[in-house]
């Protein structure tokens, strides 16, 4: 997923940060870098019940294998 997709889903950087339990400055950094760290992508995938998917197939497979993406 991209930072843009994250912001679109949660509506604002502040709401995304609140939902993920991180600082808004972290979200802002991802926007500047154009990338969300892999571990955070996995967390976001879980937090959104799979509505946003991690870029790395291994992370997707881990979630599907655990039955969390049903």
3-state secondary structure 10-66: HCCHHHHHHHHCCCHHHHHHHHHHCCCCHHHHHHHHHHCCCCCCCCCHHHHHHHHHC
Name all domains of the chain by residue range, CATH numbers in brackets.
3-65 (1.10.260.40)
pLDDT tens digit string along 12-63?
A: 999 999 999 999 999 999 999 998 988 899 899 999 999 999 986 656 655 6
Q: What is the pTM of this model?
A: 0.76
Can you tell me the distance from the alpha carbon of 64 to that of 8, in angstroms, rounded to the nearest whole number? Answer: 24
SS3 5: helix
Specify whether the backbone of 2 is left (phi greater than 0), alpha (psi in -120 to 50) or beta.
beta
């Amino acid at each position: 997923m991209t930072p843009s997709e994250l912001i679109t889903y949660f509506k604002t950087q502040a709401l995304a940060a609140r939902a993920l339990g991180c600082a808004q400055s972290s979200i802002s950094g991802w926007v500047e870098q154009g990338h969300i760290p892999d571990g955070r992508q996995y967390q976001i995938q879980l937090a959104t019940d799979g509505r946003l998917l991690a870029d790395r197939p291994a992370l997707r497979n881990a979630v599907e294998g655990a039955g969390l993406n049903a």
